[in-house]
Chain A
């Protein structure tokens, strides 16, 4: 299968280890979505908790889900879990304080 059918092109003595590309040099290559969504989720859940707005809390839940789906595997799971918990607590608190259903804006 190798183009050089005469000799084996492999050189075990010339093996170089994998170095993960450093993302500090090129921040443009990083996808900013999970960080933005995390931040948005926290903001919305704080709004939902403080201002007792149910729709804010629901949007926060969605944001934390989106952030989780887009996150890199190297990222801290603690951060993800904390934003999840915050948004779910915002939803639960809004309903405990005011059990009436949400009214649509139209």
Chain B
């Protein structure tokens, strides 16, 4: 790729030089014609007619040039006349001897008027000029591309360094907590790769597994797109942060049923709108955490008060207060199924699968201008994650809380079923019709008339049975109603 650019650049340079040579010739021609006029001074005035014609040829190009040439010719004639007649005396060396110069002056008057044809000087258009400077747009474009490539390399390396710095800081903690640190899913055996998976030039993954309480933990380092120049320029208008997203999948028996979130108010409002479980179970607006000793910047979304009480113990409050600037959101849920799905057919026909998860989103300090040293500031947050995992296992709702939680879940499921009732009915109806059609086709395709008759009879009998059943049901309902 690079060699191609160099080749093209060299090609342009050669082209420019070869065309520039022609310029010199044009200048040379003008000088030659000036020389002719120098010699014209030695000729008689009568011969000035002939000298004027070469002058006229020159003057078609430029009025100014013609004027200077005329003057020069005039002056030169003057001088030589003076020199030749210097010996003759003063009277004859007077400049304006009218008799001598009558005809000449007329002619000098005549020729300027003749050459005052309407000739407009037009600038030579850029695309006909044969100089390298006329390609400035192309040079700009190539410079822009080179700048983009430079930025790509620099951004990619920076992101890589940040990721490595993060991993080096956190490696010890992770390895002491998880049996498997780093897995890309491709190896046959479950061996720790001890490396981050690079998904992108700005996203790095790490999968840790093999611990009590949790199935596994997926850490995503979502850096800013430093490798894309457009993104870098956009970020100058709107500052953004690098983020670390941690998703811990809990075992079913190790987490009770609750939905809880704490974070910045803006983040919680957004999560409440986007996340399926938060929107269904935590219908209230995010409440301020000041009651529990949290700073003003943090708010709480909870399914019920008891959960908040249980979660906000001293150590958690300590974590949240000290590192509030780095915490974007913390979300514990047993009904986590990801963001709300927008499907074209309306509602999905069955509830999405839920998983007990703990989600953490942390902002890397530096708001864009991070250095590898800033990664060390995130280590205490990882301690908080580990603490939360153990806490989630220990925290159990009391009986009332459990009942409330179960009621909530039943309510949500019922709502969902109601909404989709119509669709499910339609789906069942269409399935039944399909079956009937398949049956009929089979009967029609049956060539043996005997078999056909038998199949038809069987179908009729089945229909009758169904009708009878329905009638029985209606009777039963009527009896119950009475």
Chain A residues with CB under 8 Å of chain B are: 1-4, 8-20, 25-26, 28-29, 58, 61-62, 65-66, 69-74, 84, 88, 92, 99-104
Contact = CB atoms under 8 A, between A and B. Distances in A.
Interface stretch (B21-29, B84-92, B130-138): B130-138
Interface in B124-181: 126-128, 134-138, 141, 144-145, 148-149, 152, 172-173, 176-180
Given A9-B212, A12-B210, A19 B185 contact: yes
A20 B185 contact: yes
Contacts of A11: 179, 210-212
Given A10-B177, A62-B145, 6 more contacts: A9-B212, A16-B209, A25-B341, A70-B228, A100-B127, A101-B138
A66 B230 contact: yes
B200 interface: yes
A3 B152 contact: no
A69 B152 contact: yes
A101 B127 contact: yes
Contact of A103 (B4, B126, B225): B126
Interface string B302-338: 0000000000000000000000000000000000001
B134 A1 contact: no
Contact of B210 (A4, A14, A71, A99): A14
A29 B220 CA distance: 13
Nearest to A67: B228
Interface of B: 1, 4, 8, 15, 126-128, 134-138, 141, 144-145, 148-149, 152, 172-173, 176-180, 183-185, 190, 198-201, 207, 209-212, 215-216, 218, 225, 227-230, 338-339, 341, 383, 386-387, 390
B171 to A, nearest CB: 11
Contacts, number: 116
Given A1-B173, A70-B225, A10 B185 contact: no
3 nearest A-B pairs in the assembled complex, by CB-CB distance: A18-B207, A100-B127, A15-B210
A97 to B, nearest CB: 14
Contacts of A103: 126-127, 137
Contacts of B228: 66, 69-70
B341 A17 contact: no
B211 A18 contact: no
| Residue from A10, A12, A66 with most neighbouring chain B CB atoms (10 Å) | A10
Nearest to A101: B135
Contacts of A58: 141
Given A62-B148, A69-B228, A1 B172 contact: yes
A65 B126 CA distance: 30
A17 B208 CA distance: 9
B216 A12 contact: no
Contact of A101 (B134, B178, B212, B338): B134
26 contacts: A1-B172, A1-B173, A2-B177, A3-B383, A3-B390, A8-B176, A10-B176, A10-B178, A12-B180, A14-B179, A14-B209, A17-B190, A18-B216, A25-B338, A61-B141, A62-B148, A65-B145, A66-B228, A69-B229, A70-B200, A70-B228, A72-B199, A73-B198, A99-B15, A101-B134, A101-B135
Contact of A73 (B136, B199, B216, B390): B199
Interface of B is mostly: mixed
Nearest to B251: A14
A16 B216 contact: yes
B390 A101 contact: no
B199 A74 contact: yes
A5 B228 CA distance: 45
A102 B138 contact: yes
Contacts of A25: 338, 341
A70 B209 CA distance: 30
Contacts of A13: 210
| Residue from B8, B134, B137, B152 with most neighbouring chain A CB atoms (10 Å) | B137
Contacts of B341: 25-26
Contacts of A66: 148, 228, 230
Nearest to B390: A3
Contacts of B149: 65
B249 to A, nearest CB: 8
A58 B201 CA distance: 25
B137 A101 contact: yes
Contacts of A20: 185
Contacts of A10: 176-179, 210-211
B142 to A, nearest CB: 9
Contacts of A26: 338-339, 341
B174 to A, nearest CB: 9
B200 A2 contact: no
